[in-house]
Amino acid sequence: MSKNNLSPEYQEEIISILKTRFEKNKTRHEGIEWNKVQEKLEANPSKLWSLLEMEKTDGEPDVVGYDKNSNEYVFFDCVAESPKGRRSLCYDRKALDSRKEHKPKNSAIDMAEEMGIDILTEEQYRNLQELGNFDTKTSSWIATTPEVRKLGGALFSDFRYGRTFVYHNGAESYYAARGFRGCLKV
């Protein structure tokens, strides 16, 4: 099974999982029809592979919108807490390489790239929070501007006290309760 060559069994499996989640959470994608989403998925096997990777790392990807300009459906990780299979990661490769000891297994940016997805931006994270309450016990790295990164920091978010917070931390830090959420356009 490679990024561009998902077996028919895996294609059916991930499409079935996504369809069930889509039908169960209709408020996340009002006005979007599943059959049109499925057509796009079937025409893009590498995107199906990325969605399977999101699923395998406990992200529970779901459709959260449609980008009219690019004619693409937008998927976010919609699991209640930061995906379990993507926690205990520092922010990026530079941060990972800077650690002298107790290095995490990977960085959020590297893992997202390997999966073929993008880390949510602050705006996307806030949009996700409009669909429910996510990260009430965990936190998630979010895309960080070069200016903040140049100073050694990285941004993360969570939902506490009825609101979304954006914080900063050293990019080399990692915690068992902090992962990252992804975005994929199909």
Average pLDDT over every residue of 47-63: 97
Task: Using alpha carbons, list the distances in angstroms from residue 88 to 41, 58, 130, 131, 172.
Answer: 30, 14, 26, 26, 11
Cα–Cα nearest to 158, from 141, 178, 139, 173: 139
User: Residue 100: which pLDDT band, with cuts at 50, 70 and 90?
Assistant: confident
Mean predicted lDDT score pLDDT of the chain? 95
User: Residue 5: which pLDDT band, with cuts at 50, 70 and 90?
Assistant: confident
126's CB contacts (< 8 A; 6+ apart) are 164
Which of 4 and 27 is assigned the larger pLDDT? 27
Residue 3 predicted with pLDDT over 70: no
What integer pLDDT is reported at residue 144 of this predicted model?
98
Burial of 172 (0-12, 13-18, 19+ CB in 10 A): buried
pLDDT in tens, 20-33: 999 999 999 999 99
User: Which pTM value belongs to this model?
Assistant: 0.94
Q: Which residue is it, tokens 């299979």?
A: 85
What integer pLDDT is reported at residue 2 of this predicted model?
58
d(CA 184, CA 46): 11
What integer pLDDT is reported at residue 128 of this predicted model?
98
User: Residue 16: which pLDDT band, with cuts at 50, 70 and 90?
Assistant: very high
Of all residues in the chain, what percent carry a pLDDT higher than 70?
Answer: 98
Q: Which two tokens stand for residue 150?
A: 């140049």
Average pLDDT over every residue of 37-49: 94
